[in-house]
Amino acid sequence: MNGLTPDLAELAALKAGLGAAACDVLVCPPATLIAQAAGTVGGAFALGGQDCHAEACGAFTGEVSAEMLKDAGASFVILGHSERRQYFGETNGTVAAKARGAWRAGLKAIVCIGETQAQRDAGDARGICQGQIAASLPAAAAAANTVLAYEPVWAIGTGRTPTAGDIAAMHLHIRQCLTEQIGEAGRDMLILYGGSVKPSNAGEILRLPEVGGALVGGASLKAKDFLAIIAACPV
């Protein structure tokens, strides 16, 4: 929940500084800014929403459908972010329904999973993530319509970052879960890492096995920081 019209200047700065990036770039502004952002960036990089309702339309006052996001200029939508699960009580079933809604509208779903500190301390991190994958991804999930994002909840906004070994081990586990659940389609699906990614650690994280990109939070609010993360992407 960040961003007003004057903040579109950061997107303009991002566009100006992007050049020939070695990776795909996506920004997910608040829904109120997507249409304006589309005009600002002019297709220089992709835009997405931060959430959507599962239904296309109806008596759901205040909600935003995937079709509305698509109409505003989005091509992706983040679903099941840890904050949505924690503060708004979203369940795996809710996330799966939203993913189907995203696909219906022609959006690519970025489905988030991840464990809390208590779950990790209890030795349940892998089981929690496996359960979220099993229940949050509809059967039709594939690389063409879905990206998975691993968020160690305890590292978001805290400045704490798992070790490189921790990240690599969890991403390998997630890859195994995906291939077991959806077969060959699970081998190609991108797995993003999202947990206090910043310019100082992006290069190391993005070079780890099975890390296919980053889900960047606070560091994406300033073009200078986000450009430094983009520049850290392996060629």
* Active-site option among 151, 171, 173, 210: 151
Count of H helices and E strands in the chain? 11, 7
* Active-site option among 10, 53, 81, 171: 81
HSE-CB of 79 using CA atoms within 13 angstroms: 35
Q: Among residues 208, 199, 201, 207, which one has the least CA distance to residue 230?
A: 199
Q: Can 115 be counted among the known catalytic residues? A: no
Q: DSSP characters for 9-55?
A: HHHHHHHHHH-S-SS--EE---GGGHHHHHHHHTTSSEEEES--BSS
Q: Is residue 154 helix, strand or coil?
A: helix
Around Cβ 142, how many Cβ atoms within 10 Å? 16
Q: Can 53 be counted among the known catalytic residues? A: no
> What is d(CA 108, CA 66) in angstroms, rounded to the nearest whole number?
10
Please give the positions annotated as active site.
81, 151
